[in-house]
Chain A
């Protein structure tokens, strides 16, 4: 990156106001086993053109946290607290008429399983152009279809003009995900949330889709929230990363710094679990045990039963997310030590 670019990026990051601000997000569910808390005190903000990665293992609360933003959780059973500001509107507390204009329009989403997310009975062109008919009433049928073709071109579906009349079963997994992306960017959203967009895809197709998402973000200046369990994907795409465990943020910061010098024992454990070339002839240094279940969340630090660094206070006192360096936070009693080590 040239010096001028760095200066410009820094300037943009400072000047542009966050487009989405999540503060103290809480999600709990009423279940037959009582009330369980799935997301606890998650806060972050994202600026135009930025990519924030949410990294964690299954059940850590990644999908539930964005489900709350998008209004996808039924309540009951979900109980949602905190604030999600899109510019000045609090999506969790504003009247439905207002949030409807934002969700699916200014803030849109792609899911892991594109193949089941598409309606098998309707042509892909119809499904893409529906975005205009629903959110932009007054768009003519013909206009909407032309826009669908242009979008299919933009997401690099070959022979878009012919394939606009095809049905989802005629598309592979990778092509279906492109159609979902076309639908998600149809209204030029300010924020795109991608929940494991490539997990169901092969690695060479994953590379194509990640390249597409990055290009679209660069072209449009939209902000991208990328949910994944793959540290490699986060490391290559996200400007900043949030590592989640047991519904809480364990650490957050600029991705390059977090992977180079993690400030939380869980992040270290996660990185050690991925076999690297230089560990070929060694045993992997694993995290013992398994991620917690919501009905039996450990006391104190949620990671303490598996943590190699734990001390007696770890099972008693819950560490709060504290600043450990410029732009970096960690929820560990010994964060400074971990970072220094």
Chain B
């Protein structure tokens, strides 16, 4: 098998740090009487740290309930964090007042998963796109609005006159394009994409992925790209963080994560993804059981209840995300051992 990975040129070195996320947590009071009385909390996001560099795409993968979407919402302060810092330059986003936060939103936008629910059905597409300009009068002079709307619509692959129509008159893929045009309206620096293609048909997914890549280059955007589809994340990301039960268990470049996964959860996750090409199939690790509740997560390492490598230490001590979170880091007590770790993928060819 040709070594396709090695021949693919990795992207030039990382840009300057743009967003530094430090020990961010979001805990919700647990629902249900008994748990509430016991003071139970849902640790949706627990001490998450990473750095997003200018111009890069940081992919975040994990299964449902691992905290990906909560993390996205916390970073935009659509929900308030329980703790931690998010430094955009010298500013901690979490310390901004309501008013300051509104100004800050110009620099950070979000594209949601559900193109149906995320657009106001009573507004025309033009109204949806220009809404932020009304909030920020200095963003764009009013006389330029209609030209800019036509320009944005064309850029995302819609017709320049589509501004007169309503969201329900568009297909799912087209609605996602409207959501992208809206996110671009204020020239943001960071766009958080929360499962932007998972509601779309395969053929439409590919169109939207291409569009996101094109506008990233054109507008100099940095992406936090959240998705559960591993092949989509590999395609679009420069670096990838893997989450499990509210924590990042491993972070690294896409090559490190996909070609040399070091955390047993990353290894199992990658091996579970069905592949079209027999050469891309990995030896499948079938995990036992399912993700435990985030209300009383397992002591020590949260993955230990399903981990084939777990030992006594795993129940007693939570492994730290070793190393520098701008570089490769792994939260496993045995990440450096040679017990099957850091093994290149086994293509079960022949």
Contact = CB atoms under 8 A, between A and B. Distances in A.
Contacts of B290: 172, 174-175, 205
Given A276-B280, A290-B173, A230 B274 contact: yes
A58 B201 contact: yes
Interface stretch (B138-146, B207-215, B316-324): B207-215
Contacts of B287: 204, 207-208
Nearest to B268: A204
Interface in B255-310: 258, 268-269, 271-278, 280-281, 284, 286-287, 289-291
B235 A284 contact: yes
Interface in A57-106: 57-58
Contacts of A274: 202, 206, 231, 276
Interface residues of A, number: 46
Determine the interface band of chain B, counting residues with CB < 8 A from chain A.
Answer: 35 or more
A306 B209 CA distance: 18
B206 A207 contact: no
B9 interface: yes
B269 A280 contact: no
Interface in A259-298: 259, 269-281, 283-288, 290-291
A204 B201 CA distance: 21
A231 B206 contact: no
B63 A259 contact: no
A277 B4 contact: yes
A337 interface: no
Nearest to A272: B206
A291 B201 contact: yes
B280 A235 contact: no
Q: Is the interface of A mostly helix, strand, loop or mixed?
A: helix
A338 interface: no
Given A273-B206, A275-B209, A280-B235, A206 B5 contact: no
Contacts of B272: 203-204, 206-207
B234 A207 contact: no
A272 B202 CA distance: 10
A284 B208 CA distance: 10
A313 interface: no
Contacts, number: 120
Contacts of A211: 286
A202 interface: yes
Q: Is the interface of B mostly helix, strand, loop or mixed?
A: helix
Nearest to A198: B274
Contacts of A229: 201-202
Interface string B234-254: 111000000000000000001
Nearest to B281: A236
Interface string A107-138: 00000000000000000000000000000000
A300 interface: no
A112 B174 CA distance: 26
B202 A57 contact: yes
A158 to B, nearest CB: 8
Contact of B276 (A271, A283, A286): A271
B64 interface: yes
B258 A287 contact: no
A175 B232 CA distance: 27
Given A259-B276, A280-B235, A284-B209, A57 B228 contact: no
Contacts of A172: 290
Q: Identify the 6 closest CB pairs spanning chains A and B, nearest first.
A: A232-B274, A275-B235, A273-B206, A202-B63, A207-B272, A57-B201
20 contacts: A58-B201, A202-B228, A203-B63, A204-B272, A207-B271, A208-B286, A229-B201, A235-B274, A269-B203, A270-B203, A275-B234, A275-B235, A276-B276, A276-B277, A278-B4, A280-B8, A284-B206, A284-B210, A286-B203, A290-B174
Interface of A: 57-58, 158, 172, 174-175, 202-208, 210-211, 229-233, 235-236, 256, 259, 269-281, 283-288, 290-291, 306
